[in-house]
Amino acid sequence: MADWLSRYPSSKLTYESVFQVNGLYWRERVWDTKAGQIAEGHVDDASGIVTEAWTGPQVAWGMARGSPGAFGGKQINTLPVWLGFCALFLIGLGDLRRPLSLRNLDLLALLSFSVSLWYFNQGRIFSSASLVYPPLIYLFGRLLYIGIRGRPTRVSRPVWPVWLLAAVTVFTIGFRIGLNIRDGNVIDVGYAGVIGADRIVSGESPYGHFPIETLKGKTLKACGAPDSEGNVHERIQPNGRCESINPEGDTYGPVAYLAYIPGLKLFGWSHKWDDLPAVRFTTILFDLLSIGGLVLVGRRFGGARLAVTLAFAWAAYPFTQYVSSSNTNDAIAPAFLIWGFWLVSSPWVRGTAVALSGWTKLSSLIVAPLWATYPEALRLRSLGKAARFVAAFLVTSVASLSVLALEPSLRKAISTFWNKTFHRQIGRESPFSIWDWRQYHAAGIPNFHIVQIVLIALVLALAVASAFYPRRRSPLQLAALTGALLIGLELVMTYWFYTYIVWFFPFAAVALLAGAGGIVHARRDAEQVT
């Protein structure tokens, strides 16, 4: 605390001490005239011991404080479980005959996000955010290289027989499901899914109808007990029900809520932020759909070896389990793309898959130009395939966005949708990337905002260029370029989190592990692949 405050001119600091009757402690706050609140601490009244001390991003962001088990529960964040997944992933997929091979370097890069996560769990946000970029940049370069050259990584003959890898995969899947049910938690992202599904089933658009704390400047009536800080999170909503608040959960595409309807129908919802079995069901369902889709992708393009390898990669990778244990919606978008990749020779399927994925997580829309022009770059003779992709994309988009028609005024519904999704995401603030540290610049933290703007332009240009080059793309190249575009977008995102790794992971796995199954990489398109 003292070190952080020393970064600001003492003459411009304002202090406040307020006694909290509920907890019998003193809440200490410090403001800077320009930066706003820069520190907060709690001091026990009886002993005088400092029980909490927050500086920088920890002041405004509770998730920046390194609370144990806040994401994914306690077990997945313990060293034995996490390192167990890492070891399984590395031993099962590594080139054990050549320890210094490029294959092993790729796997270590995928696992190296663990170092950043460790700092995040300690509440050291400036370190955790900075350490995300070396592996992202490396993987972006590797996938872009493979996407342009169209050559898989060369590896030695696999050590493990297919049957053993398959058996370990099945066991790991069972362990993953048990870990979710036994110890996982449901964060606000997953909770938003069941709220949105409930609103759609009730005949209204999810946008603008999420449980809130205040309405028109007035605090809604409390209907639950206060927490240790005296805050009440359950309020009587305009619909007359007592619900746990989640005011900003309506920021995702409509498919992110439609996907939770089966779970809602099966398990219902208490309108409280409880164990939420409907959310857990949906998480496990799309986790299994991702694994099943990878099996089909591997079987089609590389045979049994690649099918088992890709399934094992998803099951053993610790960050896919981090998503599962946190019960977020982040596995839904890649699941649609995985199944679209399996039937990639059909422009109708590609258009449908990109639309479903894009209207789940808006980030997936960046691959639309690339997928629209597969397997040949945009030329006059290939306009027919691109047109079929566009038609499928538009039809699926209209069907997905039809939830807006549930509102009395379609015009207002569209405006609310735009403001809640695209507008909010574009203007979102966050300390979890290096791009939005402007408010800490006075404390000596660098400001990279101008660099971010330049890089955003370059990533968008790359997405457009992917429609024209390479002129012909194999399935391997499509997977690599898909992963590269998604990583490129994550590189420039203001708000970044570890659950986003699964957006690009399946396509990175296809591109980087193709040597294990001999995926077709010659100059022939998907129609020639059987």
Return the closest-CA partner of residue 207 out of 430, 457, 422, 450: 422
- Can you tell me whether residue 392 is helix, strand or coil? helix
- pLDDT at position 519: 56
CA distance 250 to 208: 7
- pLDDT at position 523: 39
- pLDDT at position 204: 94
For residue 272, what are its two tokens?
A: 């409280």
DSSP string of 50-107, one letter each residue = EEEEEETHHHH-GGGS--TTTTTTTTTTSHHHHHHHHHHHHHHHS-TT-TTSHHHHHH
- pLDDT at position 530: 31
- pLDDT at position 287: 97
**40 and 229 in contact (C-beta within 8 Å)?**
no
CA distance 90 to 104: 8
C-alpha distance across the termini of the chain, in Å: 63
- pLDDT at position 249: 94
- pLDDT at position 155: 76
CA distance 365 to 146: 22
pLDDT in tens, the chain (530 residues): 888 999 898 888 999 999 988 788 999 999 988 888 999 999 999 999 999 999 989 998 889 998 878 899 999 999 999 999 999 999 999 999 899 999 999 999 999 999 999 999 999 999 999 999 999 999 999 999 999 988 887 777 888 999 999 999 999 999 999 999 999 999 999 999 999 999 999 999 999 999 999 988 899 999 988 876 678 889 999 989 999 999 999 999 999 999 999 999 999 999 999 999 999 999 999 999 999 999 999 999 999 999 999 999 999 999 999 999 999 999 999 999 999 999 999 999 999 999 999 999 999 999 999 999 999 887 766 788 889 999 999 999 999 999 999 999 999 999 999 999 999 998 888 999 999 998 888 888 888 999 999 999 999 999 999 999 988 989 999 999 999 999 999 999 999 999 999 999 999 999 999 865 455 443 344 444 33
Other C-beta atoms closer than 10 Å to the C-beta of 41 total 19
- On the CB side of 365, CA atoms within 13 Å amount to 13
CA distance 352 to 363: 16
Distances (CA, A) of 497 to 125, 165, 319, 480, 526: 12, 30, 11, 22, 34
Return the closest-CA partner of residue 460 out of 435, 436, 491, 437: 491
Residue for token pair 């997928």:
371
**304 and 222 in contact (C-beta within 8 Å)?**
no
Instruction: Report CA torsion sign: 416, 418, 419, 424.
Output: positive
Helix count and strand count (H, E) for the chain:
23, 8
For residue 480, what are its two tokens?
A: 């690599």
- pLDDT at position 384: 82
| Helix ranges restricted to H, 150-254 | 162-183, 188-201
